[in-house]
Amino acid sequence: MIQDTRLIEIKNVCKRFGETEVLHDVNLYIRKCEFVTLLGPSGCGKTTLLRILGGFEMPTSGEVLFEGKDVTAIPPYKRRINTVFQKYALFNHLNVYDNIAFGLKLKTPEQMGCKSKKEQKEEIHRRVMRMLKLVKMEGYEKRSTNALSGGQQQRIAIARALVNEPEVLLLDEPLGALDLKLRKEMQLELKTMQQQLGITFIYVTHDQEEALTMSDTIAVMNGGRIQQIGDPKGIYDEPKNAFVADFIGESNILDGVMLEDELVKFHGTEFQCVDEGFAPDEPVDVVIRPEDIMIVGADVGMLTGTVESVIFKGVHYEMMVNTGAQRWKVHSTTMQPVGSQVGMTIVPYNIHIMRKQKEA
């Protein structure tokens, strides 16, 4: 279970590469046993932030605390953190067993709580075998790493990191190269491992579904800034700004004006909503999820439009409905033929109002 103690604190971290600012004043804390995902598009700074945690990069300013102690300048080999790299980075001069045992063999017998070299060797063997079992790769210990598939290499990379029993495991888009089915399997396995072992995972991905599936906490990043931190449901249901809404799931985003509390005007129409606390006539972003738009008869809808296209997506149909001023993305389990007139209704609870984001 997640504990309340803050294991890692990132304080005012900035990172520049030459003229480019990759991270801008990032603040984040990570609790013990938490599964935290850094989520964002390419170039948002998520990997740089992970590399700072691993000790591979120094922040330009700011500090990283580990159990309250400043570790900003501590090199990677002295941190109780291990990493699973994007391209696995296995040692191809060693077989599977020696890859996993690599970190343990660097330790002295005393560091592993053993009295002799021999005892340490036995302990290493026990732990490597336990890891092989955990990642379901028993019987592969003598294999060359070159002879493994992508998914198998990934399992070995995970075992190689976990065998050292780190406080924190960093994962840099570890499932990026796997096919969809294998990826889904591995997501569940990783989550199970994390809960079994009680290790803090910090996971980097650009895949919002992956983030929602696995995380306790998601930090959505864009342009070197953290946009929103929260649990998956909170981030999905209550995105803080238009970027988060758009990145997490699909959205219709419109310009609107907040007329008064619980009343917003967009698309030339006034709508009831549930948001309060905006200035009178404050310009806002209005976000509506495609699955929150209900298709009704053309004569009873709040809005009416023409169906422009229909795509079958498996569970639902995705339709584009043109209302003249706006093209709406609508998800529905019933199909409307292209060219037909439909009405659309949105309940107040599903209209999300967001303050306009000041361009950085």
Partner 1 sequence: MKRSWYASPYALWMVLFTAVPLLFVCYYAFTDASGAFTVGNFTKIAQPMYLLVLWDSVRLAFLCTVLCLLIGYPTAYFLSGRDLNHAQSLVVLILVPMWMNFLLRTYAMMTLFEDNGVINSLLEAVGLPRLHMIGTEGAVLTGMVYNFLPFMVLPIYTVLKKMDYSIIEAAEDLGCSPLRVVTRVVLPMSVPGVVSGVTMVFMPAVTTFAISRLLSSGMIYLVGDMIEDYFISMNNRNVGSSISLVMLVLIILSIGLLRKVDPDNSGGGLW
One character per residue 136-165, x = contact with partner 1 (rule: CB under 8 A): ------------------------xx--x-
Q: Of the candidates 82, 227, 251, 252, which one interacts with partner 1 according to CB under 8 A? A: 82
User: Shortest approach of partner 1 to residue 82 CB, angstroms?
Assistant: 6
Query: Which residue, 76 or 198, has its beta carbon nearer to partner 1?
Result: 76
The answer to whether 40 and 204 have CB atoms below 8 angstroms apart is no
Look up residue 77 and give its amino acid.
Y
Question: Which of 14, 65, 102, 262: binder of partner 1 (CB under 8 A)?
Answer: 102
Question: Is 75 near partner 1 (CB under 8 A)?
Answer: yes
103 binds partner 1 (CB under 8 A): yes
Q: CB under 8 A: which stretch of 13-21, 91-99, 133-141, 173-181 binds partner 1?
A: 91-99
Helices then strands, each counted (H, E), the chain? 8, 20
Which of residues 79 and 206 has its CB atom nearest to partner 1 in the complex? 79
72 near partner 1 (CB under 8 A): no
From 17-25, 34-42, 51-59, 296-304, give the range in contact with partner 1 by CB under 8 A: 51-59
CB of 205 to partner 1, least distance (A): 17
Tell me if 37 sits within 8 A of 205, measured CB to CB.
yes
Residue with tokens 């000041």: 358
Structure-derived torsion over alpha carbons of residues 174, 178, 181, 184, reported in degrees to the nearest 10: 10
Site membership for partner 1, residue 91 (CB under 8 A): yes
Residues 6+ apart with CB under 8 A from 338: 307, 308, 309, 310
* Paired residues of 286 in beta bridges: 254, 353
In the bound complex, what is the minimum distance in angstroms from residue 106's beta carbon to partner 1? 4
Q: Applying CB under 8 A, what is the total number of residues that bind partner 1?
A: 25
What is the rounded distance in angstroms from the CA atom of residue 291 to the CA atom of residue 301? Answer: 16
Subset of 254-293 contacting partner 1 (CB under 8 A): none
**Nearest approach, Cβ of 99 to partner 1 (angstroms)?**
10
Q: List the structure tokens of 215.
A: 């995380």
Binding span for partner 1 by CB under 8 A among 7-15, 80-88, 216-224, 292-300: 80-88
Residue 318: both structure tokens together: 């995705």
Q: Which long-range contacts (CB under 8 A, 24 or more apart) does 182-188 make?
A: 182/151, 183/210, 186/151, 186/154, 187/213, 187/214, 188/213
- CB closer to partner 1 out of 94 and 320: 94
**85 vs 278, beta carbon nearer partner 1:** 85
Phi, psi of 133 (to 5 degrees): -70, -40
If DSSP codes are grouped into helix, strand and coil, which group holds residue 121? helix
Report CA Rg, the chain.
25
Say whether residue 86 binds partner 1 (CB under 8 A).
Answer: yes
Q: Interface with partner 1 by CB under 8 A: which residues?
A: 54-56, 75-77, 81-83, 85-87, 89-94, 102-103, 106-107, 160-161, 164
